[in-house]
Amino acid sequence: MTDNIFRFPAKSEWLTLLQRPALERKDLRNLVQDIFTEVKLNGDSAVKSFSEKFDNVSIDEFLVSNQEIEKASDEVPEDLKNAIQLAKENIFKFHKSQHQEINKIETQPGISCWRESRAIENVGLYIPGGTAPLFSTILMLAIPAKIAGCKNIILCTPPQKDGSVNPAILFTANLCGIEKIYKVGGSQAIAAMTFGTESISKVDKIFGPGNQYVTAAKVLAQDFGVAIDMPAGPSEVLVIADSSAIAEFCAADLLSQAEHGIDSQVIFIATDETVFNKTLKEIEVQLEQLPRNEIARKAVENSRFILLNSVEDAIKLSNLYAPEHLILSIQNPENYTEKITNAGSVFLGNYSPEAAGDYATGTNHTLPTNGFARNYSGVSLDSFVKRITFQNLTQKGLQNIGKSVELMAEAEGLFAHKNAVSLRLKSF
Amino acid sequence: MTDNIFRFPAKSEWLTLLQRPALERKDLRNLVQDIFTEVKLNGDSAVKSFSEKFDNVSIDEFLVSNQEIEKASDEVPEDLKNAIQLAKENIFKFHKSQHQEINKIETQPGISCWRESRAIENVGLYIPGGTAPLFSTILMLAIPAKIAGCKNIILCTPPQKDGSVNPAILFTANLCGIEKIYKVGGSQAIAAMTFGTESISKVDKIFGPGNQYVTAAKVLAQDFGVAIDMPAGPSEVLVIADSSAIAEFCAADLLSQAEHGIDSQVIFIATDETVFNKTLKEIEVQLEQLPRNEIARKAVENSRFILLNSVEDAIKLSNLYAPEHLILSIQNPENYTEKITNAGSVFLGNYSPEAAGDYATGTNHTLPTNGFARNYSGVSLDSFVKRITFQNLTQKGLQNIGKSVELMAEAEGLFAHKNAVSLRLKSF
């Protein structure tokens, strides 16, 4: 791990040492394009045969039945149900508060302009299967979709080898009011939601994480008029610690990101040498006790441990990196929030671990990775609506700007634009 | 034009008759990819040679000089300057009003969650050259970028054959406070802003309209971590008219969209047969008088003229089509706004022509085309910021959700996540 330790690096080195590990991305575009062509042409039967081919499972009825949902609900332990319910309430509260009131502006006498939000009508949520059933992501996507008022919310998730879906996924989807859950995974699920099939309806926007195939399919879906939540990449956290930080907590926070996958990246910046050294040691101790320690160890090897002189410098470096998650284990963290310019979600103080926000503080955990915090927001209520602009002009309003519009239209060579105004002005 | 006239079509026919003309889009991906590779490798010299090849113009210094800007300002007529200034003020007022205050929510006692907006630091605006100098688009992009507080705002626009840039473009860019204007167009401009060159800096997000090459380049830019404003397509308007509509105005509004290009589409829906017939005739009359009448005539041939029984039906049909611009030339249009679910920008009543919003009401004219009003908003202040989420938990706050987080993390198989909470709970 010593390769990854940098004590007081010069600013000229910052950019280099913050380079993310290059993603070994195969170019899956052609493969995924073939799957899209096939699903567009043959619908359900193509989806079925891809599921057999890639997931080794034969599904005759994609739609999860009511009986399956009831059975799942019986299988989820009561305390987990209560935990999910509590998370749901917090996520609901925070996302509900993101609703925007209409704000009419009179830009000139007689000219009124405003925006109104409308739900995106048809949305598709993708929830990966595999070892960790990400039922928490259902909360993060379905709750704002419901608040927005999306009419048709469908969910696709790959079935397990026996053709069933993890009960916690079914329980959570049902709790959030999703009526259509399909046992379909991979790029064929994204293709089905892009074109629609006999059983799966076409959507306007696709949300949710996935492997390289799912990610490539989401990118391709955009070519067919479907919007997506955001580009995907490996999860990451940056922790800034001063002398008030608790090494044990810092190590635990770093490892909770590292366990996501071997390509996860964690960055630790300390301004106090004692905390720095203690955290490095504590990581070794805690790694030993983790069931997923092989994954976490590899991710730690991809990571950076940096000692700097000041919290100001640490935040500058963090802004350069643009982390998905940023933890401020420092004194008076609220004094520094203004300086943070690039980050997905920020956790303040010693008692705000990332894990809390991953599940239950109320904030969304679908966040921009891979430096996309420079130019993208995480998922929020905004992601499920579009804003329509409205304008209402009285005769007086049109008179106030009419001459200007005529001049500008003429200067742009657009005479019919000019005429649309001239005819009206003449009629007054 | 009679092929395009539909009197009381059955609802079952609506979807078919609303089909947009298929875009003859060449697959430019490979061509554009080659340009990207070359610009990434050879920077300015590659940009220069592509400008020579595609635009037939040799530029040694891409950056527009202060002298050029001063000269341009002298060349723009005073009345046009005043018109641009008036438009700027209205656009500023409306976009300034889109700023969102911070709204802290206590989701549980001891858990505070909120979002803060931060400007996207580096943005690139692309303004096409060609016959119509779209200086109005500079207002639509530069004004919200400035309000958002974007640090580096650069503008690329193709030079004219003599190496100069249209004076109205330079005047407007300078008026909006853009300091870096580059004489570079086409996909090489997009490549330069994606990777950065010796003279043009890399940006985080690219905005603005363009031809097929520019559009293909913007799509490709996303593969390299650059965000874009929205997918592009031909401009379109849908006009709904009842007996209170004025045929002359309806025809003028339809033609003002049609003159944009031969692939523009206009849809006219009337609920009154007299207005319907009069508008059809009036289109012929006005077409004769337009300088761009060949373009407008072709666009009219792509278009649809539909007679329906009620305004309710007309709005249903409009929602299906999801027009970029929607004009409601009807009585009490404000009674119908709630029913509009898919549209870019809406114009209410007889004195709100689209041309007014294109230039000077204050709303943005960069809007979703080609049905993207189903899943995208037009450009607004939101387009130039991202929202960072924050959360601050006290010990009490973490105690309130800690157990739930532990249970959920464990159920997802993420033990390091659980541990980050458990360690803290134990320390209390």
Determine the pLDDT at residue B24.
63
Distance from CA of B75 to the nearest CA of A (A): 12
Taking residue A263's Cβ as centre, other Cβ atoms within 10 Å add up to 17
Query: A358-411 pLDDT, tens per residue?
Result: 999 999 999 999 999 999 999 999 999 999 999 999 999 999 999 999 999 999
Determine the pLDDT at residue A233.
83
Q: Does A124 touch chain B (CB under 8 A)?
A: no
Distances (CA, A) of B152 to A118, A319, B123, B205, B219: 32, 16, 6, 11, 22
Average pLDDT score over residue span A274-296:
92
Query: B179-238 pLDDT, tens per residue?
Result: 999 999 999 999 999 999 999 999 999 999 988 899 999 999 998 999 999 988 888 999
Cβ-Cβ contacts under 8 Å, B258 against chain A: 416
- What is the enclosing helix (H) or strand (E) of A326? strand A325-329
- Kindly determine whether residue A355 and residue B405, on different chains, have CB atoms separated by under 8 Å: yes
Cα dihedral across residues B108, A382, A385, A156: positive or negative:
negative
Determine the pLDDT at residue B350.
97
If pLDDT is split at 50, 70 and 90, which confidence band does A24 have? low
- Kindly determine whether residue A391 and residue B356, on different chains, have CB atoms separated by under 8 Å: yes
Rounded to two decimals, the ipTM of the complex is 0.96
Distance from CA of A212 to the nearest CA of B (A): 14
Q: Does B351 touch chain A (CB under 8 A)?
A: yes
Q: Does B373 touch chain A (CB under 8 A)?
A: yes
Query: Kind of pairing, strands A111-119 and A385-393?
Result: antiparallel
Q: Does B226 touch chain A (CB under 8 A)?
A: yes
Annotated binding-site residue? A395: no
Angle of CA points A156, B342, B385, to nearest 5°:
80
Annotated binding-site residue? A412: yes
Determine the pLDDT at residue A155.
98
Average pLDDT score over residue span A322-336:
97
- Kindly determine whether residue A423 and residue B355, on different chains, have CB atoms separated by under 8 Å: no
Distance from CA of B402 to the nearest CA of A (A): 7
If pLDDT is split at 50, 70 and 90, which confidence band does B131 have? low
Determine the pLDDT at residue B164.
93
Q: Does A351 touch chain B (CB under 8 A)?
A: yes
- Kindly determine whether residue A346 and residue B227, on different chains, have CB atoms separated by under 8 Å: no
> In this model, does residue A221 exceed pLDDT 80?
yes
Q: For chain A, what is the mean pLDDT? A: 95
If pLDDT is split at 50, 70 and 90, which confidence band does A250 have? very high
Q: Does A401 touch chain B (CB under 8 A)?
A: yes
> In this model, does residue B1 exceed pLDDT 60?
no
Q: Does B115 touch chain A (CB under 8 A)?
A: yes
> In angstroms, rounded to a whole number, what is the distance separating the alpha carbons of residues A177 and A61?
21
Q: Does A266 touch chain B (CB under 8 A)?
A: no
Cβ-Cβ contacts under 8 Å, A370 against chain B: 225
CB pairs under 8 A between A and B: 418
Q: In a mutagenesis test of the B interface, which of A98, A303, A361 is the best target, namely the one with the most B β-carbons within 10 Å?
A: A361
Query: B355-384 pLDDT, tens per residue?
Result: 999 999 999 999 999 999 999 999 999 999
- Side-chain-side CA neighbours of A10 within 13 Å: the count stands at 2
- With the CA atoms of A72, A73, A75 and A77 taken in that order, what torsion angle do they form, in degrees rounded to the nearest 10? 140
Cβ-Cβ contacts under 8 Å, A222 against chain B: 219, 231
Question: Structural domains in chain B?
Answer: 28-228 (3.40.50.1980), 233-377 (3.40.50.1980), 394-427 (1.20.5.1300)
Cβ-Cβ contacts under 8 Å, A401 against chain B: 86-87, 90, 356, 359-361
Average pLDDT score over residue span A53-69:
94
Q: Determine contact, residues A381/B382, Cβ cutoff 8 Å.
A: no
The pTM (predicted TM-score) of the whole model is 0.96
Determine the pLDDT at residue B25.
64
pLDDT above 90 covers a percentage of chain A that reads 86
pLDDT above 70 covers a percentage of chain B that reads 98
Determine the pLDDT at residue A293.
84
Determine the pLDDT at residue A72.
94
Nearest to A420 among B222, B353, B407 (CB): B353
Average pLDDT score over residue span A78-104:
97
- Kindly determine whether residue A356 and residue B391, on different chains, have CB atoms separated by under 8 Å: yes
Which of A 18-47 lie inside 8 A of B, CB atoms? Answer: none
- Which residues of B carry a binding-site annotation? 126, 188, 211, 235, 257, 260, 325, 358, 412, 417
Q: Give me the sheet containing A325-329, strands edge to edge.
A: A5-7, A304-307, A265-270, A236-241, A325-329, A345-348, B385-393, B111-119, B105-108
- The torsion region of residue A175 among left (phi > 0), alpha (psi -120 to 50) and beta comes to alpha
Query: B253-293 pLDDT, tens per residue?
Result: 999 999 888 888 899 999 999 999 999 999 999 999 988 88
> In angstroms, rounded to a whole number, what is the distance separating the alpha carbons of residues A136 and A9?
38
- More confident of the two residues B116 and A294: B116
**Considering just the CA atoms, what is the radius of gyration of chain B in Å?**
25
Nearest to A392 among B290, B352, B419 (CB): B352
- What is the enclosing helix (H) or strand (E) of B191? helix B186-195
B325: annotated active-site residue: yes
If pLDDT is split at 50, 70 and 90, which confidence band does B412 have? very high
Taking residue A69's Cβ as centre, other Cβ atoms within 10 Å add up to 17
> In angstroms, rounded to a whole number, what is the distance separating the alpha carbons of residues A193 and A229?
14
Secondary structure E strands in B286-377: 304-307, 325-329, 345-348
- What is the enclosing helix (H) or strand (E) of A153? strand A152-157
Q: In a mutagenesis test of the A interface, which of B391, B403, B406, B422 is the best target, namely the one with the most A β-carbons within 10 Å?
A: B391
Secondary structure E strands in B244-384: 265-270, 304-307, 325-329, 345-348
- Kindly determine whether residue B348 and residue A392, on different chains, have CB atoms separated by under 8 Å: yes
Q: Does B364 touch chain A (CB under 8 A)?
A: yes
- Kindly determine whether residue B107 and residue A341, on different chains, have CB atoms separated by under 8 Å: no
Average pLDDT score over residue span B303-314:
96
Cβ-Cβ contacts under 8 Å, B131 against chain A: 413
> In this model, does residue A26 exceed pLDDT 80?
no
Average pLDDT score over residue span A16-45:
88
Task: Write down the H helix ranges in B76-149.
Answer: 78-96, 135-148
- With the CA atoms of B72, B78, B80 and B84 taken in that order, what torsion angle do they form, in degrees rounded to the nearest 10? 80
> In this model, does residue B310 exceed pLDDT 90?
yes
Determine the pLDDT at residue B64.
97
Q: Determine contact, residues B314/B14, Cβ cutoff 8 Å.
A: no
Residue position matching structure tokens 């969209």? B257
- Kindly determine whether residue B409 and residue A374, on different chains, have CB atoms separated by under 8 Å: no
Average pLDDT score over residue span A35-50:
97
> In angstroms, rounded to a whole number, what is the distance separating the alpha carbons of residues A212 and A218?
10
> In this model, does residue B2 exceed pLDDT 70?
no
Residue position matching structure tokens 């005073």? B78
B99: annotated active-site residue: no
Phi, psi of A237 (to 5 degrees): -140, 145
Q: Does A167 touch chain B (CB under 8 A)?
A: no
- Which residues of B carry a binding-site annotation for NAD(+)? 126, 188, 211
Average pLDDT score over residue span B307-333:
97
